[in-house]
Amino acid sequence: MKNRLKVLRAENDWSQAELAERLGVSRQTVNAIETGKYDPSLPLAFTIAHLFRKAIEEIFEPNGRDRSPAR
């Protein structure tokens, strides 16, 4: 899953440590999400979206390997 977390963090002029503190997670978690190595849980994704006052889909978007649900 791709995300715009790094861009949004830069827009707010926050360090990874500051963002981690606001989200209540470790700096390693913020870094892993930014680099796409870790996809956050739904509650954490909602917390991130709430913090940046955006919808989840404005921050996170699926990449090629994430499949759409079968209909």
Partner 1 sequence: MATASTSCTGGTGRQIAWVLATALSVAAGIALLTIYRPPLPARIAAVLVPIGCGLAYAFQLVHDMQKLDELQTRINLEATATACLGVFIAALVYPVVQSAGFAGPLQPYYVLILLSALWMAGYLNAYRRYR
Interacting residue ranges for partner 1, rule: CB under 8 A? 24-26, 28-29, 31-32, 37-38, 40-41, 44
Alpha-carbon torsion angle 31, 35, 38, 44, nearest 10: 60
Q: How far is the CB of 14 from partner 1 (least distance, A)?
A: 17
Please check whether residue 51 is in contact with residue 65, taking contact to mean a CB–CB distance below 8 angstroms: no
Nearer to partner 1, 41 or 63 (CB): 41
Helix then strand then coil, % of the chain, to nearest 5 = 50, 5, 40
Nearer to partner 1, 65 or 71 (CB): 65
Q: How far is the CB of 3 from partner 1 (least distance, A)?
A: 14
